[in-house]
Amino acid sequence: MKIAKCIIIFLTFLLASCAASLPYRSLSGPDIRGALSAFPMQEDHPDATAVFLLNYGSMEMFDDGTQVYKHTVRCKILNERGYYLARKSISYREGYSRVKILYANTIRPDGTTVPLREEDIIDSAAYSQYEEYTDIKEKKFTMAAIEPGCIVEYAYEVKHTKPFLLHDYYTRFALREFFPVKEKVMEIILPNGRQLHMANFKTDIKPTVEEYGGKTKYTFRSENSPEIIPEPNMPRPTDKDVFPQVHCWTLSCWNVISKWYAGLVKEQMQSDEALDDFTRKLTAGKTTDEDKIRAIFDFVAREVRYVAVEIGPHTMTPHPARDVLKKKYGDCKDKTTLLLTMLKTVGIEGRPALVPKDSDALDEAAPSMGYFNHVIAVVPKKDGTFYWLDSTNKVAVIDSVPFLVPTRVLQINEDGSYQFVKTPDLEDSRDYTDLMQRVHVKESGDAVVEYIYSSYGKCAEAERNKFRNLSPRAREQHFEAKGIELQQLEILNLDELESPFVVKVRGLMRNEIHKVDDNEMILSGAAMIRDYDELTAVKSRRYPIRFTGSGLVRFKKFFYFPKGYRIRKLPANYKIEDPYNINEIKCGFEGNAFVMEGKIKDLKYALKPGEFEFFKERALERKKYKTSVRNIIFERK
């Protein structure tokens, strides 16, 4: 009897201990003060704002495709920089998902617990300025009694009752974050018959697998992970070539997505007599496919207003093309569907292409709709290339590249098949900027400056769009902010998208040239040189440096000094070509003008830590030349 009683007591204690250690159990309780002393301190992690004691996430998928997410966070805030972690927003879609907050507490350093009050939970629209066009909501709360050394903990669940694409799930289990993490757990629970696909990057971690009740649970666990110390221009934590992570997904192939999305678009490419008549009138007199494409694209891009529409099924499903024309507004999928429908009316084949949020994070081996947040139209040409038509871009032309950097997109054919296609890169002969500057220096050091800023192709879009959205007075203020007392401002081809965008400026700049005395003037800062000062002061790098590409910039600057002035020493010409930047400068004279001309272009490149010392040497060469031409002296002879 005593033995049985002891066994019962032992089992009761064991169950209680297990329950207390479950991720959804709050840390608060009578024994918390003893536990607090064992948690990390600021001196253990001098650069950290907080330590995550527990980061637990769970997703359970059911036979009908519905999913339940559970999340528990427990972090110790080390200093005021970590106070933002006491704020939490949980997104959900009204009518499609439900949120339940299980508990939320602040545990003070003395062990007292301050629970979140029900009245402090706010339910609001995620994007209030677009509330009539979206059903995305947020439950938000801010924890009370925050101070250094306190612990913030909360747990919640989100039930997704109406999935858009059945059985589609994708996630990453990241082993490194911007905080030290004592314990991280991810559980994925699938019904029998559903397989979890996995791919490891920079880690060999494997999940434990447990089968029970017609389900399979995969549990990934990581402990005592040090934080990522941020560095300038470092890769994103999603970079699978740098940071350890496991990708998990549930769909078996991309055909599931392509056939599903092709069906959505085909069903909504609904025309009517009004749409057909409008399309034919719009393209009347156009004899080539290119002219017809241009007329249709210009209308959809410029006359159909872009509005984010994420309501109910139309989060994924476009509105019928005929309705988009009637309303003359829609989001990317609506505008693309209208564009494809109008093209089809005049006998031109077009296809939708899904665009990822982050092209570098897209894994073609791991199919999921979760990568994508944009859609464009693609029209094949006879030579095997494409027209890339982003109808949300009001200043694009049909023969321009759609994005500043090459991007892999998922092109979906009418029969539901697909191809991954990379969009073209910028071309120096087509996508570039020319800067022509003439500076007429007065005896006082003031100067009358003349700028002609001409941009071409893709490089024209950002500047054209900026000035289209400025009032006439705001355009003047843009240059006045640079210290130019305007005498003339002329903007050319603001709406003629096929022509280069040109801005001509003339005005007075006070003390533009430093007058030392009656016989000496100094020209400063005329050279356009990338020297990477912001990256070279550190002794070493832990992570690669990510360089992003840009369009080519060509410049030519003329400086006219008062009569009698001569340059003391003509600067040497300069040319440097690195995998991440090309920079060239030539100095000389044309007539009585000192001329500095050249070009500069950034290139996409990932510089490995092992290349850092050589990079610094090259950067110092750049800095040396920049210093040598920083101040150019002109003397009266």
What pairing do the DSSP bridges indicate for beta strands 552-560 and 593-602? antiparallel
Residue 108 CB partners (closer than 8 Å, separation 6+) = 114, 145, 147, 150
CB 170 within 8 A of CB 159: no
> Would you list the DSSP string of 38-77?
TS--GGGSTT-SEEEEEEEEEEEE-TTS-EEEEEEEEEEE
- Supply the pLDDT for residue 636: 95
**pLDDT tens by residue, 100-152:** 999 999 999 999 999 999 999 999 887 766 545 778 889 999 999 999 999 99
Architecture of domain 255-422: Roll (3.10)
Give the Cα separation of 545 and 611 in Å (integer).
10
Give the Cα separation of 116 and 143 in Å (integer).
6
Nearest C-alpha neighbor of 300 from the set 320, 329, 276, 273? 329
Give the Cα separation of 84 and 86 in Å (integer).
5
- Per the model's pLDDT, the better-predicted residue between 130 and 611 turns out to be 611
CB 176 within 8 A of CB 542: no
Query: Across the beta sheet with 386-389, what order do the strands follow?
Result: 386-389, 372-380, 351-356, 408-412, 418-422
- Supply the pLDDT for residue 126: 78
Worst-scoring range by mean pLDDT, 2-11, 202-211, 457-466?
2-11
Provide the Cα torsion 79, 85, 87, 88; round to 10°: -170
- Supply the pLDDT for residue 24: 66
Give the pLDDT band (50/70/90) at residue 15: very low
> Would you list the DSSP string of 324-366?
HHHHTEE-HHHHHHHHHHHHHHTT---EEEEEES-GGG--TTS
- Supply the pLDDT for residue 18: 38
Characterize 513-526 residue by residue with b for buried, 16 or more Cβ atoms within 10 angstroms of its Cβ, and e for exposed: bebeeeeebebeeb
Kindly tell me if the per-residue pLDDT of 282 is higher than 70.
yes
The mean pLDDT value of the chain amounts to: 93
The answer for 363, left when phi > 0, alpha when psi is -120 to 50, beta otherwise, is beta
Kindly tell me if the per-residue pLDDT of 35 is higher than 80.
no
- Supply the pLDDT for residue 37: 80
Nearest C-alpha neighbor of 23 from the set 51, 52, 50, 55? 55
Instruction: Give the H/E segment covering residue 297.
Output: helix 289-303
Worst-scoring range by mean pLDDT, 116-130, 402-416, 597-611?
116-130
Give the pLDDT band (50/70/90) at residue 38: confident
CATH assignment of 2-248, given 2.60.40.3140, 3.40.50.360, 2.30.30.280, 2.60.130.10?
A: 2.60.40.3140
CB 258 within 8 A of CB 410: yes
Nearest C-alpha neighbor of 402 from the set 379, 372, 432, 425? 425
- Supply the pLDDT for residue 10: 34
Nearest C-alpha neighbor of 615 from the set 237, 244, 360, 233? 233
**pLDDT tens by residue, 352-378:** 999 999 988 999 999 999 999 999 999
Residue 432 to residues 429, 597, 614, Cα–Cα distance (Å)? 7, 15, 29
CATH 2.60.40.3140 in the chain, residues? 2-248
For 432-519, where are the E strands, in sequence order? 432-441, 447-455, 485-492, 501-509, 514-517
Give the pLDDT band (50/70/90) at residue 8: very low
pLDDT above 90 as % of the chain: 88
What pairing do the DSSP bridges indicate for beta strands 593-602 and 545-547? unpaired
Worst-scoring range by mean pLDDT, 9-13, 54-58, 88-92?
9-13
- Supply the pLDDT for residue 134: 78
CB 331 within 8 A of CB 347: no
Compute the Cα dihedral for 561, 565, 566, 567 and give only its sign. negative
> Would you list the DSSP string of 267-280?
HH----HHHHHHHH
CB 161 within 8 A of CB 66: yes
Mean pLDDT for 425-454 is: 97
Give the pLDDT band (50/70/90) at residue 20: very low
**pLDDT tens by residue, 305-342:** 999 887 777 788 999 999 999 999 999 999 999 999 99
- Supply the pLDDT for residue 19: 34
Mean pLDDT for 605-624 is: 96
Nearest C-alpha neighbor of 355 from the set 304, 421, 296, 279? 421
Mean pLDDT for 458-466 is: 97
Q: Is 423 exposed, middle or buried (0-12, 13-18, 19+ CB in 10 A)?
A: buried
CATH 3.10.620.30 in the chain, residues? 255-422
Kindly tell me if the per-residue pLDDT of 92 is higher than 60.
yes
> Would you list the DSSP string of 541-588?
-SSPEEE----EEEEEEEEEPPTTEEESSPPPPEEEEETTEEEEEEEE
Give the Cα separation of 150 and 111 in Å (integer).
9
**pLDDT tens by residue, 249-278:** 999 999 999 999 999 999 999 999 999 999
Give the Cα separation of 83 and 72 in Å (integer).
18
Tokens of 405: 């950097």
Phi then psi for 386, rounded to 5 degrees? -135, 155
- Give the type of residue at 420: F
CB 379 within 8 A of CB 293: yes
Kindly tell me if the per-residue pLDDT of 9 is higher than 50.
no
**pLDDT tens by residue, 204-221:** 999 999 999 999 999 999
Radius of gyration over every alpha carbon of the chain, rounded to an integer in angstroms: 31
Nearest C-alpha neighbor of 190 from the set 255, 248, 245? 248
Kindly tell me if the per-residue pLDDT of 466 is higher than 50.
yes
Kindly tell me if the per-residue pLDDT of 538 is higher than 60.
yes
